[in-house]
Chains A and B, each alone.
Chain A
Amino acid sequence: MKTITLRVSRFDPAEDTEPHIEEYTVRVNEGARVLHVLHAIRDEHDPTLSYRYCCGSGQCGSCAVKVDGKPALACMAEARDGMTVEPLDLPVVKDLTVDMEPVIAKIARICPAADAGLPSRDEIAAIKPLRDCIECLCCVSACPALQVTEFAGPTVLRQEMRLALDPRDSGDRIGDAIKKGLFYCTTCKRCTEVCPKEIDIPGKAIEKLREVANRRGLTLPRHQEVARLIRETGRSVERTQPTFLEQVPEVIEPDGPVRGEVGFFVGCMFNGRVPQTALDAMEVLKRNGIRVLVPHDQVCCGSPLIRTGQTADVDDLKKRNIEAFARRGIRTVMTICAGCGATLKNDYDTPFEVKDVTEILTEYGIEPPAKLEITATYHDPCHLLRGQGIREQPRELLREAVREFVEMPSQCCGAGGGVRSGVPEEAKALGLMRDEAVKATGADVVVTVCPFCEFHIADCTDVPVKNLVTVLLEGYRKKDAERQGSA
């Protein structure tokens, strides 16, 4: 047996105007789940505690709650001393019980055609990953798009794709999906992160539905513009200034002895719109003994096409990029754009390893920069945190570079998934929420490592936004200036 003290959100609409937190201390068995702790509160402290549960084994989806802010099934999440248990972000009926029925009612039902036969083995295999959903609504609680739009919810779109894949279904799933907000998803993958069944809704449902929509000519005009640009120029942004690739040689030698060598995949944003940041990254790598090979025949990774369902030309882009690096015998390709990195890692089958700049720098270890006299917070790019599972490396680097580092709750900035171009008002609303979060930290600077996040957050807040490599470079310059000053 062990003792657990926890905080539980209580709310009785008959008596309370708003929820409040109560603290409880209970004795539970080793390995107890959150649900067992709630049982202990009910049985030993307060029988009126309201929470929903049924199967106790992760199969019915009744008992989802937020544990320390993150949605989880109470029956599966291990109870922790000091945890806070709150209801999902849905209308609260009482305490931890939320109103699930209105969302469940939006999940489409199959309309079998009269002559429907059994699907084939391949069709079943395609449907199965979308069929595991237990409608616990963790994803609906956590989805950022739902906070600012009429998006019906990740699992609602999941079901549209499940039905679109079923030869027995006769419904108009693309029409329904668009009505339910197909283009609102930023593909931030927060839904996958909180899903007890780890269903990849953005990859296996949203992007696939957008593909079908594309084949029917229903892609948003702004997204079609991007596709046209890529088709014509190999790049997703217009050339408005000398590009990064125009400014650098194919091989950038380090200042000192060579400690390592990487190929560099620059990405459209850093190449065409913010080349200075990419140049800053080169300076940091030079300083740390890393030789950089820059194939000039590389093109767009295809991410803007994949995220918006316009996949017809993606295979050609993949081929060109893989060849550009493979031909030069490059074994490790470094990205500094979270979106490109996630695409190369997840959507490509590469003969080389792909690593984010923060992985390269922490693996080799960097010369410590002088600490900048600022308080900085860090915005997790979705395609880095969830797309590549990178959380600690940028923090480790940032802590070395600034006087004070403060955490900020992670949430999508709204730029991804074609939302910044396709649904700008949604992107703006999510960006403004980031502004509030940044201000709440009191930081002087918000640091990130994704050009899309950087660009978009800068549009939505008056707090300066900087790329991590720029902060590191500023630290080195400060260090050099101090050395010169003392010399």
Chain B
Amino acid sequence: MVLYNAQTNKMLVDEIVDAHVLVIGSGGAGVRAAIEASRYGSVVMVSKTIAGKGGCTTMAEGGFNAVLREADSIEVHREDTLKGGAYLNDPALVDALVREAPERMADLVRWGAVFDVTDDRQVAQRPFGGQRFPRTCYAGDRTGHELIMTLLDRLDATDTQLYQEVSVVDLVKDEDGAVAGAIALDRDGSPVLFSADATVLATGGGTQVYDVSTNSAAGTGDGYAMGYRAGAELIDMEMVQFHPTGAIYPYDARGRLVTEAVRGEGGILLNARRERFMERYDPARMELSTRDVVARAIATEVLEGRGTARGGVYLDVTHLPAEKIESRLPVMLEQFLAYGVDIRREPMEVAPTAHHIMGGLRITPECRTSLKGLFACGEVAGGVHGANRLGGNALAETQVFGKRAGESAGKAPARSGKVDSAGVDGVLRVLDGFFEGAASPAAVRKDLKLTMWSQAGIFRTAPDLRTALGHIRRLADQRLCAASTANLLECCTVRNMCTTASLIVRCALLRPENRGAHVRRDATVITEPAASPFSHTYISLAREGIEQREAAA
């Protein structure tokens, strides 16, 4: 199939790839989806990085939550997840997560994953915040890396065709309005069209829209923006998790994740006066309270003048045996040593950092989005984590919903309609426009990130959010300039970042209450999470609003 513009008879793209299932994204969810989908037909996976090197799965340090012991139960994992999520989670999605996480963990072990094990040959588990049982499975503090390497081994045993360093820039539809694939740019900036019966969006998150973020460079929210432009509905985009402990030095590496495993293994938080301040915020759970609570506690200490000179607090493991630090937290030890801090002898300095977007494309438990032909899984999907994600539930989510999305997409019927060439033409025109733009993508990106951090961060107010939205819209209206064909992608990325940022801010304005990670300093409605009258915020090209709960839970 070669695609021509009917009016000009000009060939639109010079490379076209057909498959039964197209998977966009090569993180934990995408690779798991491709593995599953390959059981049903041909699969193409498109990765904007070298597979295994992109996204945030490979950076995930702490662990994978799964109920594996008699003393633990699926029911308790469900309750912990719902409570941690301030009861905003979609219960059906939580149900799938907690029920299937153990089976997905078993898949990984069967496929060769090197998780830590106990003396009696069971997968070892450590305590994580907000959970009543130590159910977080781990491979030292490089759990995500272990997971992705194992998945890539398994993927290699399938017939999946892999396109690496090829970046999807927009979804395309067929004449019936179903998602029919995607258009991408290769490393040189040449367009490639992928057409498929079913498309799985597994593009991960987007907290790179914030100035201080744990995300890899790939975490630019492309999936939210592409889904939105294609007409999909997103939910709860205001729910951005600020991880309590990000590094603050050196400045250019600010935000770098300091894993929750540090606290799981016994690390304590101290302010500049060396007070263990969590006593004042959550005396029962202390450092292992949920992330929203700990992040706000640290931010409050700093705002009220009890932070360090660099604007953080101390995270201290010097009371732990050096051997434990070396074996359980080797990546942390190595990273801090590289920056001149030996965490066996001196405390780390940390501050909150934008980590995870709980919101995303609205999905059913089968990972169907509101668009025909489009499935979503992993961080790009919303609803699993509600208003706050528990540490260790994201890796589990990638596997549970990656498999579900792959299976649903694999079972999808053949699509009959032709790819809508006007849509492709539209994308190509946008790309061409970047050659005539004037604004520097680097400058827009920097401005956007600072705006989001200062006006849509941990503590929010309506006036700030409105100011931010106005500014984001002005940034989005700037005509970005591509310095070369290879720079087209950068323009697309910055455009996606502007879109993702605006979705976050618009949803933040839609939710008048404080809930989980979303704190409105000007909240007029005081709600208890379990009894809140509000449910999801929703946003799409067609509509936006906040759902009212039929009956309080």
Closest residue to B51 on the A side, CB-wise?
Answer: A104
Q: A43-B442, A56-B216, A135-B52 are in contact. Are A118 and B123 (CB under 8 A)?
A: yes
* Stretch from B80-88, B248-256, B376-384, B506-514 that touches the partner: B248-256
Contacts of A132 in B (CB 8 A): 142, 330
Contact between A58 and B442, CB atoms less than 8 A apart: no
Contact between A54 and B218, CB atoms less than 8 A apart: yes
The number of chain B residues with a CB under 8 A from chain A is 60
Contact between A61 and B53, CB atoms less than 8 A apart: yes
Closest residue to A169 on the B side, CB-wise?
Answer: B112
Contacts of A28 in B (CB 8 A): 252
Q: A56-B217, A59-B59, A127-B114 are in contact. Are A47 and B252 (CB under 8 A)?
A: no
Closest residue to B214 on the A side, CB-wise?
Answer: A57
A280 CB–B CB distance under 8 Å: no
Smallest distance from the beta carbon of B451 to chain A beta carbons, Å? 17
Contact between A121 and B487, CB atoms less than 8 A apart: no
* Stretch from B223-231, B268-276, B331-339, B516-524 that touches the partner: B331-339
For the complex, give the distance between the alpha carbons of A42 and B442 in Å. 9
Contact between B142 and A124, CB atoms less than 8 A apart: no
Contact between A48 and B486, CB atoms less than 8 A apart: yes
A410 CB–B CB distance under 8 Å: no
Smallest distance from the beta carbon of B355 to chain A beta carbons, Å? 13
* Contact mask for chain A residues 22-39; partner B; CB cutoff 8 A; 1 contact, 0 none: 000000111111001001
Q: A42-B442, A53-B217, A60-B54 are in contact. Are A110 and B252 (CB under 8 A)?
A: no
* Contact mask for chain B residues 137-174; partner A; CB cutoff 8 A; 1 contact, 0 none: 00110100110011011001100000010000000000
For the complex, give the distance between the alpha carbons of A78 and B149 in Å. 28
Smallest distance from the beta carbon of B288 to chain A beta carbons, Å? 23
Contact between A112 and B252, CB atoms less than 8 A apart: no
Contact between B58 and A60, CB atoms less than 8 A apart: yes
A319 CB–B CB distance under 8 Å: no
For the complex, give the distance between the alpha carbons of A166 and B334 in Å. 26
Closest residue to B58 on the A side, CB-wise?
Answer: A60
Enumerate B105-150 residues with CB–CB distance to A below 8 Å. 109-112, 114-119, 121-123, 139-140, 142, 145-146, 149-150
For the complex, give the distance between the alpha carbons of A46 and B486 in Å. 13
B370 CB–A CB distance under 8 Å: no
Contact between A100 and B122, CB atoms less than 8 A apart: no
Closest residue to A100 on the B side, CB-wise?
Answer: B50
Closest residue to B112 on the A side, CB-wise?
Answer: A110
Q: A47-B442, A48-B483, A128-B114 are in contact. Are A54 and B109 (CB under 8 A)?
A: no
* Contact mask for chain A residues 264-298; partner B; CB cutoff 8 A; 1 contact, 0 none: 00000000000000000000000000000000000
Enumerate B400-453 residues with CB–CB distance to A below 8 Å. 440-443, 446
B527 CB–A CB distance under 8 Å: no
Contact between B216 and A60, CB atoms less than 8 A apart: yes
Contact between A112 and B112, CB atoms less than 8 A apart: yes
Q: Which of A60, A100, A116, A197 has the most CB of B within 10 A?
A: A60
For the complex, give the distance between the alpha carbons of A59 and B60 in Å. 9
Q: A48-B484, A104-B50, A132-B142 are in contact. Are A56 and B253 (CB under 8 A)?
A: yes
Contacts of A75 in B (CB 8 A): 253
Contacts of A47 in B (CB 8 A): 440-442, 483-484, 487, 490
Contact between B338 and A134, CB atoms less than 8 A apart: no
Contacts of A59 in B (CB 8 A): 58-59, 142, 145, 331
Contact between B251 and A121, CB atoms less than 8 A apart: no
**How large, as a class, is the contact surface on chain A?**
35 or more
Contacts of A44 in B (CB 8 A): 442
Smallest distance from the beta carbon of A385 to chain B beta carbons, Å? 22
* Contact mask for chain B residues 237-257; partner A; CB cutoff 8 A; 1 contact, 0 none: 000000000000111110011
Contacts of A314 in B (CB 8 A): none
Q: A54-B49, A60-B59, A62-B49 are in contact. Are A31 and B339 (CB under 8 A)?
A: yes
B39 CB–A CB distance under 8 Å: no
Contact between A31 and B252, CB atoms less than 8 A apart: yes
B187 CB–A CB distance under 8 Å: yes
* Contact mask for chain A residues 61-82; partner B; CB cutoff 8 A; 1 contact, 0 none: 1100000000000011000000
Closest residue to A163 on the B side, CB-wise?
Answer: B112
Contacts of A61 in B (CB 8 A): 53
A403 CB–B CB distance under 8 Å: no
For the complex, give the distance between the alpha carbons of A124 and B117 in Å. 7
Closest residue to B54 on the A side, CB-wise?
Answer: A54
Contact between B334 and A121, CB atoms less than 8 A apart: no
Q: A32-B250, A33-B253, A47-B483 are in contact. Are A131 and B146 (CB under 8 A)?
A: yes
Contacts of B252 in A (CB 8 A): 28-29, 31-33, 36, 39
A93 CB–B CB distance under 8 Å: yes
Smallest distance from the beta carbon of B472 to chain A beta carbons, Å? 20
Enumerate A1-36 residues with CB–CB distance to B below 8 Å. 28-33, 36
Query: Out of A30, A48, A110, A118, which one reaches B250, CB within 8 Å?
Result: A30
Contacts of B217 in A (CB 8 A): 53-56
For the complex, give the distance between the alpha carbons of A55 and B57 in Å. 10
Q: A30-B250, A43-B442, A118-B117 are in contact. Are A58 and B334 (CB under 8 A)?
A: yes
Contacts of B486 in A (CB 8 A): 48, 50, 94
Query: Out of B110, B257, B339, B442, which one reaches A112, CB within 8 Å?
Result: B110
For the complex, give the distance between the alpha carbons of A256 and B442 in Å. 72
Contact between A57 and B116, CB atoms less than 8 A apart: no
Enumerate B27-58 residues with CB–CB distance to A below 8 Å. 49-50, 52-55, 58
Closest residue to A29 on the B side, CB-wise?
Answer: B251
Enumerate A77-133 residues with CB–CB distance to B below 8 Å. 93-94, 100-101, 104, 109-112, 116-121, 124, 127-128, 131-132
Contacts of A121 in B (CB 8 A): 117-119, 121
A386 CB–B CB distance under 8 Å: no
Contacts of B334 in A (CB 8 A): 58, 197
Closest residue to B56 on the A side, CB-wise?
Answer: A55
For the complex, give the distance between the alpha carbons of A14 and B227 in Å. 35
Closest residue to B116 on the A side, CB-wise?
Answer: A124
Contacts of B218 in A (CB 8 A): 54
A168 CB–B CB distance under 8 Å: yes
Closest residue to B257 on the A side, CB-wise?
Answer: A57
Contacts of B490 in A (CB 8 A): 47
Q: A48-B487, A116-B110, A134-B145 are in contact. Are A54 and B53 (CB under 8 A)?
A: yes
Closest residue to B340 on the A side, CB-wise?
Answer: A31
Contacts of B110 in A (CB 8 A): 112, 116, 168
For the complex, give the distance between the alpha carbons of A124 and B187 in Å. 38
For the complex, give the distance between the alpha carbons of A43 and B445 in Å. 10
Contacts of A117 in B (CB 8 A): 121
Query: Out of B54, B123, B153, which one reaches A109, CB within 8 Å?
Result: B153
Contact between A58 and B335, CB atoms less than 8 A apart: yes
Closest residue to A93 on the B side, CB-wise?
Answer: B187
Query: Out of A36, A53, A57, A62, which one reaches B256, CB within 8 Å?
Result: A57
For the complex, give the distance between the alpha carbons of A43 and B121 in Å. 51
Closest residue to B338 on the A side, CB-wise?
Answer: A76
Q: Which of A28, A46, A47, A132 has the most CB of B within 10 A?
A: A47
Query: Out of B121, B216, B483, which one reaches A120, CB within 8 Å?
Result: B121
Contacts of B121 in A (CB 8 A): 117-118, 120-121
Smallest distance from the beta carbon of A43 to chain B beta carbons, Å? 4
Closest residue to A119 on the B side, CB-wise?
Answer: B117
Given A31-B252, A46-B483, A76-B335, 17 further pairs, Cβ under 8 A? A28-B252, A31-B249, A31-B339, A43-B440, A47-B490, A52-B50, A53-B217, A57-B253, A57-B257, A60-B59, A62-B53, A100-B50, A116-B110, A118-B121, A119-B117, A124-B117, A166-B114
Which residues of A pack against B, CB within 8 Å? 28-33, 36, 39, 42-44, 46-48, 50, 52-62, 75-76, 93-94, 100-101, 104, 109-112, 116-121, 124, 127-128, 131-132, 134-135, 166, 168-169, 197
Across the A-B interface, give the 6 residue pairs with the lowest CB-CB distance, nearest first. Answer: A31-B250, A110-B112, A43-B442, A36-B252, A47-B483, A29-B251
20 A-B contact pairs sorted by A residue (CB < 8 Å): A29-B252, A31-B252, A43-B442, A46-B483, A47-B442, A47-B487, A48-B486, A54-B54, A55-B58, A59-B59, A59-B142, A76-B335, A76-B338, A93-B187, A94-B486, A120-B117, A120-B121, A166-B114, A168-B112, A197-B334
